[in-house]
Amino acid sequence: MFDFTQLGIFFLVLARVTGFILTCPLFAQRFFPSLARAGLAVGLAGALYPAAAAVAGELPAGPLGFTLELLEETAVGLGLGVFTNFVFQALRVAGQIVGFQIGFAMAEVVDPTFGTQTSIIAEFLYMLGVVFFFCIDGHHSLILALDRSFHFIPPGEAVFSGTAAEVVARGFQGMFVAGLRLAGPVIAVVLVTDLALGLLVRLVPQINVFMLGFPLKIMAGVFTLAVTVPFLGGVLTRLFDAMARDLMILIKGLSG
């Protein structure tokens, strides 16, 4: 006889996995086919189902209770996916700051992920971060964290507490702090360039500082970015490690 209880647990697992895939930056790209995302969600749910079924409790008797649990599991997956996005958005913040400082604010491209306009530098740093994350097998750590989430938060037993909200707020704050730190070298070089141009225009008033300043700031900013990019690997590794630790703290916070 078919066991509808096990089928219900699978759908709860699928709801959490689907919510995670829809918001995780690695799989939420618009160029990622929807059919592939659906297949990935079903495949991951099937792989994670045994661990979830081993700790799952009894399902609600009525359809309303089961629907509420589906929504709850979807919210948990969405929250975990959005939290992992903070580190990648820090790269966008850094790129936006760098682009604004060196004069690339007017040269914008359409972001294929969200369909909005973004700085060229921001798009470059974001895609660089995504590629680097795959190169260090970061997606494996995310799948492992998703698997552990079912050990700490059995299907239908999530608790949205103040601890989880505090972790999310701290991650949101860290996004801007990390963005400023990543953009720090370029900001410093552009500041020195502005000071040098200010001194030069005082010594030689005939110089058109605006015509001279734009290419100089672009050259200085791009050169600084080119010099610092090889050192981003260590910085990104530390950021991704911190993201994995904070993600586990968030999972434990949602467990109540």
Round to whole Å and give the CA distance between 183 and 180: 5
Whether 112 has a pLDDT exceeding 60, the answer reads no
Q: Cα separations (Å) of 28 from 20, 38, 82, 143, 211?
A: 9, 12, 10, 15, 41
DSSP per-residue letters across 123-153: HHHHHHHHHHHHHTTHHHHHHHHHHHHHHHS
Q: Which pTM was predicted?
A: 0.82
Residue (of 151, 152, 142) closest to 252 by Cα position: 152
> What Å distances lie between residue 133 and 129, 137, 138, CA to CA?
6, 6, 5
What are the pLDDT digits (tens) for 210-243? Answer: 777 778 888 888 888 888 888 888 888 888 888 8
Average pLDDT, the chain: 83
Question: What mean pLDDT is predicted for residues 18-37?
Answer: 80
Tokens (6 digits) for 230: 């090889």
